[in-house]
Structure 1
């Protein structure tokens, strides 16, 4: 059980309130605040990299600070970027399916 009070999550909750006022026109993300990382606000976008990019640009996060990874055996791409905003750490995470995987080749390079 967490000994943290709701007040301990103040920083990300204040930022979320600011976002609701200042960026209400942007696509709605999945929102996550956790007692594990009490200063972190995570906004995630599932199958909506355009939403991820709209938020990244609105928050002034540099394109070259975005990391790229793949998960689920390469079938899902993951974009991630973090920045400080009004006293909280803000993380954007974008998930999208990758294009069809290339055929698996044998050691000789021939498709099975």
Structure 2
């Protein structure tokens, strides 16, 4: 039988989110995700309506993630480019994901990664 986590089990990513809000209030607001499945992870994602790759780049720079630590791929729909990076901040594992629309007919290598 698995143990049911309490909200206190998510205190590490919640504290990290609070620190991010204090340290970087000027950055674009991302979609924030916490999960009892990964209780030490704080997932931040930015979509085209949130600034897409430009917002991802602002967050990547603020978090001190090296450009070569970013993974780029195009989803199977061939219309969505995705950047993914991970780092540690405030004791939490931060997963940063950025999405953007890829122009029709653009090959993945032309879609542009950070």
Q: TM-score range by the shorter chain?
A: 0.7 to 0.9
Runs of 4+ in 1 over 2 A off after TM superposition: none
C-alpha RMSD of the superposition: 1.4
Which structure 2 residue ranges, 5 or more long, are not aligned? 107-114
Corresponding position of 1:91: 95
Looking at structure 2, the residues matched to 72 and 19 of structure 1 have their Cα atoms a distance apart, in angstroms, of: 32
Which structure 1 residue ranges, 5 or more long, are not aligned? 103-112
Looking at structure 2, the residues matched to 72 and 20 of structure 1 have their Cα atoms a distance apart, in angstroms, of: 34
Q: Is 1:70–1:78's contact at 8 Å kept on the other side of the alignment?
A: yes
Corresponding position of 2:25: 24
Shift of 1:25: 0.6
Corresponding position of 2:7: 6
Looking at structure 1, the residues matched to 104 and 17 of structure 2 have their Cα atoms a distance apart, in angstroms, of: 36
Q: Secondary structure at the match of 1:99?
A: coil
TM-score, normalising length from structure 2?
0.85
| Higher helix proportion (structure 1 or 2) | 2
- The 3 A distance-change label for structure 1 pair 68 and 2 is farther
